[in-house]
Structure 1
């Protein structure tokens, strides 16, 4: 062995899901995978370690929409180092996160200004797809694979949010008022229909009641005339009218009302009712 050789073998351990970059006197030597690896120290050294796990970069970009509303767009970029291209990932980019952020800004500020605010909220997947397509085509040359991009937030100014909420609230109040008016209309129509039906049924009941009264009177007059010899239908009607008159007085008296009573009034009422009910329009006596 050369007596000037003062180097020694050194054991380096690389963690799981990592790759180490080994240099020999400042020059790239090789990549070492997870596990123990021997290097010649101090000629060689592990100058860096790259994680192979999926990482996430959160980017917040301010831009404006087609209708001149400034919004904050939050984008989450999920990426990882390609094992076979770890050399490019380590040596070709000084700051991969800054590179990714710059491309996200470029895509967001060229896509969102072509959309109105409502359209931007509806097209979050389109925005995320445009960012993903751009990053995948660019970052693969630098040893990075873009797993996915997500638009996590679209935040306009607080005043714009308040106005949007007011517009939505006014629209909902208008719809509620329309439904309330329609309900009131249906309620009124149903009440009118119920009242008309009630009046119709009440009229039917009154008509049937009067019909029953008339039939009862007819039956009573006929039976009384047959049972009492010499009694005429007119005599029977006089007795019925007199009994109805006394029933009326009894009902009115039950309500603490004071009425003057004259027997002549009964006779006069009897004559008037008899003339009205027992003669037709031509003046002919209906009971004769």
Structure 2
């Protein structure tokens, strides 16, 4: 081959190589011929006419995400910053619209997000913004879908990913929450103390009841024992009065002996002469007799009063 043909052959090889190009997966290439739209090529090895056709641009068909931060005011005049994440993609059948109708999709999406958020949030109080953030996201998606579908973009999902009120408002909200929790804690502590007092009172009442029952049982057994003692003494020829006197004197000295056996007992003055038991018995008998006489007199007075009427 003559030397002068080598450059021509090399140039021809380059021109032939430029006729082939590769389009990556999930990507679309826009081909123009002399500045006019020619075709859209999908993934794989593609071919174009050298020096006539050119790749005007490539569009990704993957899902993309745009984060938009908006500052606005709520219904209760609180400034709040919202972060709205928009997930979108180019519709495969509308690559032409996406490439030729819209130069800056990010700016267009951001404008619509600002418009919707600043229309919806001022209608809500701050607490409602947190509760109804999904409603805000739905409103943004609805507005964006209607607008961006014309340009070949599909809005997959919109999310309100952050709500950040003013620092002073957050501090006030934290104080309110802390006060509310302290109030609830105080209520629980009060309930616990009240339950403790009630249960303690129930325990004391039960203790008193059992103590009274024990005293009653004790007295019942003492009376039964005295009755049996009197019966035993009657069998050996001692009458009831003498038996009662003997029992009183015996218990009197048993009591003195018990007091004397206590090392830490307080000083108690009791009659301790031999006649003490007999005197106490006579005093009891006299008291019983006097009580019976007073009772009979009151009963007779009531009967006389009824007869006079």
- TM-score (structure 2 length as normaliser): 0.83
The aligned residue for residue 179 of structure 1 is: 188
More helix by share: 2
Give the unaligned 5+ runs of structure 1: 1-5
Q: 1:18 aligns with which of 23, 27, 30?
A: 27
Kept after mapping to 1: 8 A contact 2:66/2:86: yes
The aligned residue for residue 141 of structure 1 is: 150
Following the alignment from structure 1 to structure 2, what is the Cα–Cα distance between the partners of residues 158 and 281? 92
The aligned residue for residue 3 of structure 1 is: none
Closer, same or farther: CA 84–263 of 1 in aligned 2, 3 Å: closer
Structure-to-structure mapping, 1:130-279, within 5 angstroms? 130-226=139-235, 228-229=236-237, 231-256=238-263, 265-277=273-285
Closer, same or farther: CA 189–263 of 1 in aligned 2, 3 Å: closer
Following the alignment from structure 1 to structure 2, what is the Cα–Cα distance between the partners of residues 31 and 260? 121
Number of aligned residue pairs? 280
Following the alignment from structure 1 to structure 2, what is the Cα–Cα distance between the partners of residues 98 and 264? 115
Note the alpha carbon deviations across 1:172-198, whole angstroms, 9 max, x for none: 221222232233223222322332232
Following the alignment from structure 1 to structure 2, what is the Cα–Cα distance between the partners of residues 252 and 35? 116
Following the alignment from structure 2 to structure 1, what is the Cα–Cα distance between the partners of residues 270 and 147? 120
Closer, same or farther: CA 187–281 of 1 in aligned 2, 3 Å: farther
The aligned residue for residue 45 of structure 2 is: 36
CA displacement at 1:249 relative to structure 2:
2.2
Give the unaligned 5+ runs of structure 2: 1-11, 294-309
The aligned residue for residue 110 of structure 1 is: 119
Following the alignment from structure 1 to structure 2, what is the Cα–Cα distance between the partners of residues 190 and 199? 14
Closer, same or farther: CA 282–63 of 1 in aligned 2, 3 Å: same
Structure-to-structure mapping, 1:122-133, within 5 angstroms? 122-133=131-142
Closer, same or farther: CA 202–122 of 1 in aligned 2, 3 Å: same
Following the alignment from structure 1 to structure 2, what is the Cα–Cα distance between the partners of residues 261 and 59? 98
Return 240-249 or 211-220, whichever deviates more: 240-249
Kept after mapping to 1: 8 A contact 2:65/2:88: yes
CA displacement at 1:262 relative to structure 2:
10
- TM-score (structure 1 length as normaliser): 0.88
Following the alignment from structure 1 to structure 2, what is the Cα–Cα distance between the partners of residues 65 and 134? 20
Following the alignment from structure 2 to structure 1, what is the Cα–Cα distance between the partners of residues 266 and 200? 41
CA displacement at 1:94 relative to structure 2:
1.5
Closer, same or farther: CA 259–63 of 1 in aligned 2, 3 Å: closer
Return 195-204 or 43-52, whichever deviates more: 195-204
Closer, same or farther: CA 128–263 of 1 in aligned 2, 3 Å: closer
